[in-house]
Amino acid sequence: MKRMQCMVLLAIVVTLGLLAGCSNASTPSTTGPGPAAKDTATQPQVWTCPMHPELREAKAGKCPKCGMDLVQQKDAKK
C-alpha cells in the first residue's frame, strides 16, 4: 500500500514539474537584444590589428603588415 502511495505522489510531483516547465515556455521571451545591441548593430564596425592600431579595416581579416587576425575595435570612432 505504501509503495502505491509513493508512486502516486511521485507521479503528481513529476506532472506538476512538467506543467510548470510548459507554462514558462509559453510566455514571451524578454531575453532578446536590448537597446545597446541595436545601437551597435547600426554603427559601422571597425577592425584593427593589435600590433598596428593605426590599421583600420571595415571587415575581419588578416593584418597586411604582420599577418595577425584583426580584432573588432570596441569603441569604434571615426
Please name the residue that has the C-alpha cell 507521479.
Answer: 11
Over the stretch 3-26, which tens digit does the pLDDT of each residue have?
888 888 888 888 877 776 655 555
Q: Which amino acid is at 63?
A: C
Which residues make Cβ contacts (< 8 Å) with residue 33, sequence separation at least 6?
A: 41
How many other C-beta atoms can be found within 10 angstroms of the C-beta atom of residue 70? Answer: 20
Distance CA 59, CA 45 (A): 7
Tell me the pLDDT tens digit for each residue of 29-71. Answer: 556 555 555 555 567 799 999 999 999 999 999 999 999 999 9
